Amino acid sequence: MDDRLARFSESISFDHRLYKQDIRGSIAHAQMLCRQKLLNQAEFDAIQRELLDIESVLDRGEMPFKIELEDIHMHIEQALIDRLGDVGRKLHTARSRNDQVSTDIRLWVRDSLDQVDGLLKNLQRAFLKRCIVDANVIVPAYTHMQRAQPVLAAHYWLAYVEKFARDRGRVADCRRRVNVCPLGGAAVAGTSLPIDRSYSAELLGFDEVAANSIDISSDRDFAVESVFVLTMIAEHLSGWAEEWILWSTTEFGFLKLPHAFCTGSSIMPQKVNPDTLELTRGKSARVIGNLQTLLVLLKGLPLAYNRDLQEDKPPLFDSFDTVIACLELATPIVEQAELQPAVINARLDQGYLDATALMETLIARGMPQRTAHHKVGALVAIAKSRGVPLNELTDAELISVDATLDASIRSTLGVAGAIKSYVSFGSSNPELVETQVENWNKRLA
């Protein structure tokens, strides 16, 4: 092989991280071969012993990688052959690198999805803790980045708990399709040797056995799906990061970020920059790009294996690495950030957050929605002209819009009155929010 091609085609520089999965899969394969009398017990024992020792060498970083051996699979097999000779050469019986690589990647993705799920659960718990810490805080909810209605801070935090619950649901659903065993599919057509693929799958903890040897060689749906799942997580993290960046500005002043996760300026001594959140927002672009890379990589590939598939691992690995790193930092930021109730409360009467609650009070009294909408809009216009909140309008001003607007409507005005008025399931009603927090604590216990 031309040296330039050797450098061009090697994958050991990135697939070495599959070594634990490769050794685990190889031991299971050898155990199956032994059970099927394709290896004797002594041969299996020797193969297992040496593979575990090779794993220890790799754990210590003591195996030199050579580009002429291309990938981690050949490095491990060659090390085994160097130790056992012909016995080592028997390991690859009834196995191709096609099904071997697919098995290794599935094992790696399965482990990584479990790690992501655990980190998402930790982040949900962090937001739930905030629901207790910020139980009595009212914040403005926004639509179109304009103040809309008052909500409990706990209700706000529960929105993120719900988002990450959907992410965890996608992780679990994806994991189910990942957990299908391709081992024993061989190169493309299967094998004439009497192997037991179900036994190999059982040893490796797979739920099912992949049913078509041609499909096994080319299937990377599970890789694309897992990166899609990670992309949705990255999207949610990016949106959260953007919101907290805004909330931590002087203009908002709602939130104080933990300084351990911020940086200073090289020239402006007063700066506390939300770099972790900005990088979380920025790194989501990489994950989104990785998804497109995989989709384009697979587009138009004929059955079955094609060398293009070697390029699936860098975007796959990078997506997991990036999202895991973001999640590991998100939890302590959520735990340590501090809402600023004094700053929030000082401006809660701005933006007429109670206008919708007042409109719904009029609707409950029998007024058509469009009429009530118009009349409350007129009251807001009067209040704006005077620079006062709705609860400071005089009785005369109320009556000037509608004769039925007497002092009894004042119980709805103000953010506290608006909060108490909510009754629908999923709303910011204090009792309903408390119930939701209790339910989530039970679910995540």
Name the pLDDT band for 409 (thresholds 50, 70, 90).
confident
8 Å CB contact between 195 and 94: yes
> In whole angstroms, what is the distance from residue 395 CA to residue 405 CA?
8
What pLDDT is stored for residue 269 in this prediction? 83
CA–CA separation, 245 vs 289, rounded Å?
23
As a whole-number percent, the residues of the chain with pLDDT over 90 amount to 89
Residue 259's Cβ-count burial label (10 Å; 0-12, 13-18, 19+) is exposed
What is the DSSP code string of 134-180? TTT-EEEEEETTEEEEEEEHHHHHHHHHHHHHHHHHHHHHHHHHH-E
Query: Given a cut of 90, is residue 2 above it in pLDDT?
Result: no
Given a contact cutoff of 8 angstroms between Cβ atoms, the answer to whether 220 and 290 are in contact is no
Q: Are 220 and 294 in contact (CB under 8 A)?
A: yes
Element (H, E) at 80: helix 72-84
pLDDT of 404 strictly over 90: no
Name the percent of the chain lying above pLDDT 70: 100
Angle among Cα 78, 110, 51 to the nearest 5 degrees reads: 25
pLDDT at 264 over 90: no
* Structure tokens given for 406: 């007497």
Q: What is the pLDDT of residue 412?
A: 83
As a whole number, mean pLDDT of residues 276-301 equals: 97
Q: Quick check: 271 pLDDT over 90?
A: no
How do beta strands 138-143 and 146-152 pair? antiparallel
CA distance 37 to 21: 24
Kindly compute the dihedral angle of the four CA atoms of residues 282, 286, 292, 297, in this order, to the nearest 10 degrees.
170
Active site residue 238: no
pTM: 0.94
Which one-letter DSSP state was computed for residue 369? H
Residues paired with 146 in a beta bridge: 143
Show the tokens assigned to 271: 């700066």
pLDDT-based confidence at residue 330 (cuts at 50, 70, 90): very high
Q: How far apart are CA 258 and CA 337, in angstroms?
A: 5
CA-CA distance, 337 to 142, in Å (whole number)? Answer: 20
Task: List, in sequence order, every residue forming a beta bridge with 302; answer none if it has no partner.
Answer: none
Q: The tokens of 396 are what? A: 């005369």
Domains (range + CATH), the chain: 3-93 (1.10.275.10), 98-196+210-346 (1.20.200.10), 355-443 (1.10.40.30)
User: In this structure, are residues 228 and 299 in contact, taking their beta carbons and an 8 Å threshold?
Assistant: no
Phi and psi angles of residue 364, each rounded to the nearest 5 degrees, phi first: -60, -25
Mapped to the 3 state alphabet, what secondary structure does 386-417 carry?
HCCCHHHCCHHHHHHHCCCCCHHHHHHCCHHH
Whole-angstrom distance, CA of residue 407 vs CA of residue 395: 7
Choosing from 144, 192, 266, 385, which is the catalytic residue? 144
The single-letter DSSP state of residue 293 is H
- Mean confidence (pLDDT) of the chain: 95
CB 142 within 8 A of CB 179: no
Beta carbons within 8 Å of 221's beta carbon, 6+ residues apart? 177
Residue 62: phi, psi to the nearest 5?
-105, 5
Mean pLDDT of 267-286: 93
**Segment of 80-84, 258-262, 267-271 carrying the highest mean pLDDT:** 80-84
| Residue pair 199/30 in contact by the 8 Å Cβ criterion | no
> Are 304 and 100 contacting, i.e. CB atoms less than 8 angstroms apart?
no
Sign of the CA dihedral with 196 first, then 200, 203, and 205 last: negative
- 29 given a catalytic annotation: no
Q: Is the pLDDT of residue 413 over 90?
A: no
Catalytic residue selected from 13, 259, 265, 408: 265
User: In whole angstroms, what separates CA 343 from the centre of its chain?
Assistant: 32
Average pLDDT over residues 341-360: 92
Q: What are phi and psi of 96, to 5 degrees?
A: -110, 160
For tokens 């071997």, what's the residue? 100
Token pair listed for 306: 């094609």
What is the average per-residue pLDDT within 297-325? 96
Joined together, the tokens standing for residue 3 give 């040296």
- The string of pLDDT tens digits covering residues 17-52 is 999 999 999 999 999 999 999 999 999 999 999 999
75-89, 119-133, 260-274: segment of lowest average pLDDT: 260-274
3-state secondary structure 35-79: HCCCCCHHHHHHHHHHHHHHHHHHHCCCCCCCHHHCCHHHHHHHH
pLDDT in tens, 112-162: 999 999 999 999 999 999 999 999 999 999 999 999 999 999 999 999 999
For residue 389, the number of C-alpha atoms closer than 13 Å in the C-beta half-sphere is 17
Q: What is the mean pLDDT of residues 318-332?
A: 98
